Amino acid sequence: MSAIASARVANIIGHLEAPFTMHGRCTAQPTNFTKKPVRVLVTGAAGNIAYAIVFMIGQGKMLGMDQPIELRLLDIPAMSKSIQGVIMELNDCAFPVLTSITGTTDYKTAFENVDIALLIGAKPRGPGMQRKDLLSANAAIFAGQGKALNQYASRNVKVCVVGNPANTNALITAANAPDLPKSAFTAMTRLDQNRAISQIANRVKVPVTGVHNVIIWGNHSKTQYPDVNHGSVDVNGKNTAIRQAVNDNGWLDGEFITVVQDRGAAIIAAREKSSAASAANACVDHIRDWCLGTKKGEYVSMGVYSDGKSYGVPAGLVYSFPCTCENGQWKIVQGLKIDAASQKRLDVTTKELQEEKKEALGN
C-alpha cells in the first residue's frame, strides 16, 4: 500500500490528530412523535451513496414518518467541509423526522449509543490494485469501526455494511466487536435482489410488486447466485412460479444471472459513475425490513453470519441467505430444496468467501 493510502486508512480508522464535530439545527420534537429518537450513523458521509441515503432517511423512507431520528455523519478530516455542506442542505429540507444532525470525524461522537450503523465508507479499488490489496486496506478500516462499535454503540445496535467487499468487511467488523452479538452484523445484498426483481418484472411485464422471493445467495460479487427457483410472479391475478411465467430456462440460467452479477460494472460503463442512488435505496430497504419486519410469506436477501447448519454453508462466514424479519430480528429461511446445479453455484460463492476470510483475517 502506498504512503498516501496508508495515511488515509490511518485517518479513517480513527487515529485523528484533530477530530472535529459540527451540529445541524436541532428542532423541537413535534408533539405528534410518541417514539423515542433512534440514533442513526452514516459513515463515508461525504460520499455519493451517503449523499443519496441521508435525504431518504430524512424523508422517513427507512423507519417511517412517525419515527424521530438523531442523525450522525462520519468521515475523514479532509471531508469536513463537504459534511458541513450536507448538513446545510439537510437543514434546508426541514425534514420533521430529523431532530438533530451531527457531523464529525471523532469515533466516540459518531458511535456513542448508536442504534443503527450504516457502514458505507470504504476504500475503493484503484488502478493496478489487486483484490488482496483492497481487502488489506479495508480490513484496517472496518477493524477500527468494529472496535468503535464494541466500545461505544448500543448493545442492541444493528449494523449494515455497504462498503465493498461488503460480506468480508462485515465479518471483519464483527470480529473486532466481541461484546456484540454476531446477529448485529449484516452485509447488504438487497441491491442485487432489487436488480433481479426488476429484471424478472421487465421480462414478464408485471409491476415489481408482483415479483416474490427471488433470492441472492452468497457473496456480493460476481460469484453471487440470483436464484428464482423458489420465487413467483403475479400474472393476471394468479400467483405463478417464475420459471413457468418466464418460460425460458436458457435466459433464467444464463443472461439473467450474468446481468445481475455484472450490473454494477454495466452502470459504471454507462454513466461513468457507480450506482450510488440504487445502493442507497437498497440500504434503506434492508434496514426498514430488518427493523419493521418483512411481509408475510416474503423473503429478503441479507448477508448474515452463517450458523453452519444452513444450506451447507460453513459457520463463520457472512453469507447472503433468504431471510425473514420480525421484532427487529432476522431469521434464515429453512427447508428450501436446492437442486444440484444451484448447489454448485452456492459452493462457488462459499469458496470465494472462505478465501476472502483467510486473506482478511488469516483464518
Residue 215 to residue 339: CA distance in whole angstroms: 14
Average pLDDT, the chain: 91
The model's pLDDT over 46-65, given as tens digits with 9 standing for 90+, comes to 999 999 999 999 999 999 99
Does residue 212 carry a catalytic annotation? no
Q: Based on the domain organization, do 242 and 153 belong to the same domain?
A: no
Q: Based on the domain organization, do 168 and 195 belong to the same domain?
A: no
Catalytic residue among 23, 212, 220, 286: 220
Q: Based on the domain organization, do 106 and 162 belong to the same domain?
A: yes
End-of-domain residue from the set 146, 168, 187: 187
Q: Based on the domain organization, do 91 and 211 belong to the same domain?
A: no
Residue 150 to residue 163: CA distance in whole angstroms: 19
Residues 6+ apart with CB under 8 A from 244: none
What CATH code is carried by the domain that includes residue 135? Answer: 3.40.50.720
The model's pLDDT over 213-268, given as tens digits with 9 standing for 90+, comes to 999 999 999 999 999 999 999 999 999 999 999 999 999 999 999 999 999 889 98
Q: Look up the pTM and report it.
A: 0.91
Three cell numbers at 238? 394468479
Share of the chain above pLDDT 90, in %: 81
What CATH code is carried by the domain that includes residue 205? Answer: 3.90.110.10
The model's pLDDT over 329-351, given as tens digits with 9 standing for 90+, comes to 999 999 999 999 999 999 999 99
Q: Evaluate if residue 4 carries a pLDDT over 60.
A: no
Contact 177, 147 (CB under 8 A): yes
**Which residue range(s) make up the domain with 312?**
190-361
Residue 60 to residue 69: CA distance in whole angstroms: 9
What average pLDDT does the segment 140-152 reach?
96
Provide the number of structural domains found in the chain: 2
Residue 336 to residue 213: CA distance in whole angstroms: 12
Three cell numbers at 47? 460520499
Neighbours of 325 (CB within 10 A): 21
Q: List, in sequence order, the alpha helices (H) in the chain.
A: 3-12, 48-58, 80-93, 107-111, 131-152, 166-175, 190-204, 242-246, 249-253, 255-261, 263-271, 276-292, 340-361
Q: Based on the domain organization, do 182 and 204 belong to the same domain?
A: no
What average pLDDT does the segment 119-131 reach?
76
- pLDDT for residue 20: 65
Confidence tier at 311 by pLDDT (50, 70, 90): very high
